[in-house]
Amino acid sequence: MIEFKKLSKSYDGKTNIVDRLDMTINDGELVVLIGESGCGKTTTMKMINRLIEPSGGEILIDGKNILEMNPIQLRRNIGYVIQKVGLMPHMSVGDNIELVAYLKNWDKEKRRARSRELLKLVNLEPDQYIDRYPNELSGGQQQRVGVARALAVNPDIILMDEPFSAVDPITRETLQEELIKLQSEVRKTIVFVTHDMDEALKLGDKIAVMQGGKIIQYDSPEKILKEPVNDYVEYFVGKDKLWKSPEMLYARDIMQKRPAVVLEHRTPAYALEVMRKRDTDFLVVVDAPYDQPQKMLGVVTPKELKGKGMVENNRMIDIMRKDYPTVTERTSMVKVLNIMKQERLHYIPVIEEEKNLLVGLITHGSIVNIITDALVDSEVEKEAL
């Protein structure tokens, strides 16, 4: 765990580049620091391994103040990946990866076995790359070696300072995907600095948006998108970013919260009247009225009602479709759209995950509404610029 307590950095004793930050980064989290140039994000990250010394406050790693640690030993126990990689040009790939392990007096066989293991982990074939030199590698390959070197002595913490910004967009996307996969396997505590909100949303477990040396908002990517704390965060994120990140949209964000329902003991004639009043051809059959929690039992459409409107003995429980597909509140919009397309549905009920209670209904109309809102917001933002 990394804790910032009133962390500050100033260079003239007056202007705070970093201004009394309070933040906790939990073990195994990938936390992104993001903001405009000069906001203090890189300075904040470099204070973690004391490449820059704090002017005030504390940084605690697992409860211990880093100022009480030997800075050289501190740095050797923290992986560090930078924008321009920083590989030693006169050293082979293997020797670059093994450098920190060498400084920590690992024996030669152990170092070599570790570098081969790490090359495999970053998708570089050891026999092909271990004896090459940095100038024989592409930018993306060099960056993979940089990540492998950061992992060499299995540190708990890795700092990444805009590591993918110097490569082309296709390579950058590939490296991002590989980092996501790698993190799922090794679960390190990673502090990642970027100026790219798309990258932050894709990679971060949490995002810290910084402005003027302060953290303006520290939240999950979902919350940053949906609940920006002020106009600066909203502007920085971009009003149309949510629509550009549909994996961040869930069923609960696009559903109607008061779908048309009918109780299980009601007749077909009553159901037809509800359809008429609510201007719908789809009813969810439930076991309780609106003022109580409602468990979904099935659905009724004109297909189930056809020819049974005047049969008094029929009830919804007798004629409803019981095997109708549903989604939960946390089902992503991408998955919702796929289910609706595959099953050829115009409606899909949304169910509470734990108690299986009806909480809403997604329709083609509700999806169109959110697309329209996103497009309108985008056009308004363009006009404002």
Q: Residue 61: CB partners within 8 Å, gap ≥ 6?
A: 1, 2, 48, 69, 157
Q: Do 160 and 132 lie in a common domain? A: yes
Write out the residue range of the structural domain in which residue 24 sits: 2-239
Inside any domain, residue 376: no
3-state secondary structure of 150: helix
Q: 275 and 142 in one domain?
A: no
- Across the chain, the runs of DSSP E, i.e. the strands, are 2-10, 16-25, 30-35, 56-61, 64-65, 78-82, 157-161, 189-194, 206-211, 214-219, 261-263, 283-286, 296-300, 327-328, 347-351, 358-363
- Give the Cα separation of 283 and 3 in Å (integer): 52
Same domain, yes or no: 279 and 226: no
Of 213, 239, 265, at which residue does a domain stop? Answer: 239
Helix 139-150 with 169-186: angle, nearest 10 deg: 20
**Residue 204 covered by a domain:** yes
195 CB neighbour count, 10 Å cutoff: 16
The reply to whether 208 and 269 lie within a common domain is: no
- Phi, psi at 18, each rounded to 5°: -125, 130
Q: Does residue 385 belong to any structural domain of this protein?
A: no
Query: Does residue 223 sit within a domain?
Result: yes
CB 167 within 8 A of CB 139: yes
- Look up the CATH number of the domain holding residue 297: 3.10.580.10
Does residue 100 sit in the same domain as residue 140?
A: yes
188 and 306 belong to one structural domain: no
User: Does residue 164 fall inside a structural domain?
Assistant: yes
For residue 379, being part of any structural domain is answered with: no
CATH number at residue 226: 3.40.50.300
Predicted local distance difference test score (pLDDT) of residue 246 = 63
Q: Are residues 58 and 92 in the same domain?
A: yes
Residues 270 and 215 in one domain: no
Report yes or no on 133 lying in a domain: yes
The tens-digit pLDDT sequence of the chain (385 residues) is 999 999 999 887 666 789 899 999 999 999 999 988 888 999 999 999 999 999 999 999 999 999 999 998 898 888 888 876 678 888 898 898 888 888 888 988 899 999 998 898 888 888 898 998 888 888 888 888 888 888 888 888 989 888 887 777 777 888 888 888 888 888 889 999 998 888 888 889 999 999 989 999 999 888 888 788 888 888 777 655 555 566 667 888 888 888 999 999 998 888 988 998 888 899 999 998 888 889 999 999 988 888 665 566 788 998 899 999 999 988 888 888 889 888 888 899 999 877 789 999 998 776 766 555 544 444 444 444 4
What are the angstrom distances between the C-alpha of 370 and each of 205, 241, 243, 249, 367?
25, 13, 8, 10, 5
Cα separation, 349 vs 325, whole angstroms: 8
Choose one of 184, 204, 239: the last residue of a domain: 239
On whether residue 160 sits in a domain, the answer given is yes
Residues 233 and 357 in one domain: no
pLDDT of residue 283: 94
Identity of residue 346: H
Whether residue 235 sits in one domain with residue 344: no
| Residue 215 sits in the same domain as residue 261 | no
Domain count of the fold of the chain: 2
Q: How far apart are CA 157 and CA 100, in angstroms?
A: 14
What's the pLDDT at 46? Answer: 92
Rg (CA), the chain: 28
Token reading at 327: 């989604």
Judge if 196 and 258 occupy the same domain: no
